[in-house]
Amino acid sequence: MNILFDIIIPTYNNRDELFHCLTGFESQTMKEFRILICIDGSTDGTQEFLSQYISTSALNITVLEHPDGQNHGRNATRNLALPILSAPYMICLDSDAIPSPQFIDQHHVILQQEECISAGDLTYVNADTNRWAAYLHTRGKKRFANNALIPFQYITTGNLGMPTRFFIALQGQDSAMRGYGGGDTEFAYRLYKTFNPNIYHAKEAIAHSFMHKSIDDALNQMEEFGKGNLQYIRAKHPAFTELFKMDVIAGNGITSTVTRALLHPFFGMITHALAMVLPIKISIALLPHAVMSRIMKGLNSTE
């Protein structure tokens, strides 16, 4: 059988959700794929589970690990697949996502029409009760129709299809980025600068997931991003001035001054507190401010 897709799935201490992810691939309408499971130093029995699963499954699965068996972060873990990628197309998918039966088919519909990017959809099944999931359902590519062209900044590797040669040419993601956030944005920027491909919203290439993060968890991660990887990206790509509106925030004019004032941690604490208790629809409207305030808090703590 000719393999059309290599599916890269990084995983870290996520054995049970990985099982459900793999179960989703058992029922794919397209069968010409191989799964590359990249283990990031898991200590929850993932390796033993996979040995047993592979022995009884018809899926074509290859398991990859870091030579030292340690945790290296999601970027470096996806890159474990680089030496053995061979299919014309590839898909990145998170291990806590369950692909719908036509998941690969829908990515293929887009990718076969031109050399482009297929940005699949990640839907949280508890978005009606989890405020962070509800917020994410209003962001990025989710605001665009199926097959609509979207900006490169909305690329996320939680569900992403592309010609394999793009990933190989870029040598994958930046493995130096180990903390939270920005890995997808940095990769998307290099992809845009090198190939400038059309990026389509593959809304029908759906994977389902369950959101475990609370607003508190998510905002703490935003602050961590501001302290670490945001600084790294700004230093690596100084021309990427529109990154998280840094061109506006770091400017010298009145607009920039007012923006910085409004993003002061005090005001961020207010929108954070309100987002925790007000109705979800109002919470969603407040969270962009809380997010940027926490990113700036992290950034300012290191400058």
Q: Which domains does the chain have, with CATH numbers?
A: 5-209 (3.90.550.10), 215-300 (no CATH)
pLDDT band at 83 (very low <50, low <70, confident <90, very high): very high
pLDDT at 265 over 70: yes
Beta strands 159-163 and 89-93: pairing type? Answer: antiparallel
Q: Of the given ranges (23-32, 45-54, 240-249), which has the lowest mean pLDDT? A: 240-249
pLDDT at 302 over 80: no
How confident is the model over 59-80, as a mean pLDDT?
96
pLDDT for res 303: 61
pLDDT band at 249 (very low <50, low <70, confident <90, very high): confident
- Quick one: what percent of the chain has pLDDT higher than 90? 90
pLDDT per residue as tens digits for the range 185-199: 999 999 999 999 999
Position with higher pLDDT, 169 vs 246: 169
- Quick one: what percent of the chain has pLDDT higher than 70? 99
DSSP string, the chain: ----EEEEEEESS-HHHHHHHHHHHHT-S---EEEEEEE-S--SSHHHHHHHHHHH--S-EEEEE-TT-----HHHHHGGGGGG--SSEEEEE-TT-EE-TTHHHHHHHHHTTSS-EEEEEEEETTTTT-HHHHHHTTSGGGGS-TT-B--GGG--TTEEEEEHHHHHHTTSS-TT--SSS-HHHHHHHHHHHHH---EEEEEEEEEEE-----HHHHHHHHHHHHHTHHHHHHHH-TT-TTGGGHHHHT-SSHHHHHHHHHTSHHHHHHHHHHHHHS-HHHHHHHHHHHHHHHHHHHHHTT-
pLDDT at 243 over 90: no
pLDDT for res 268: 95
pLDDT at 105 over 80: yes
Query: Could you give the 3-state DSSP secondary structure of residue 102?
Result: coil
Mean pLDDT, the chain, whole residue set? 95
> pTM (2 decimals)?
0.94
Beta strands 33-39 and 61-65: pairing type? Answer: parallel
pLDDT at 103 over 80: yes
pLDDT at 246 over 80: no
pLDDT per residue as tens digits for the range 195-214: 999 999 999 999 999 999 99
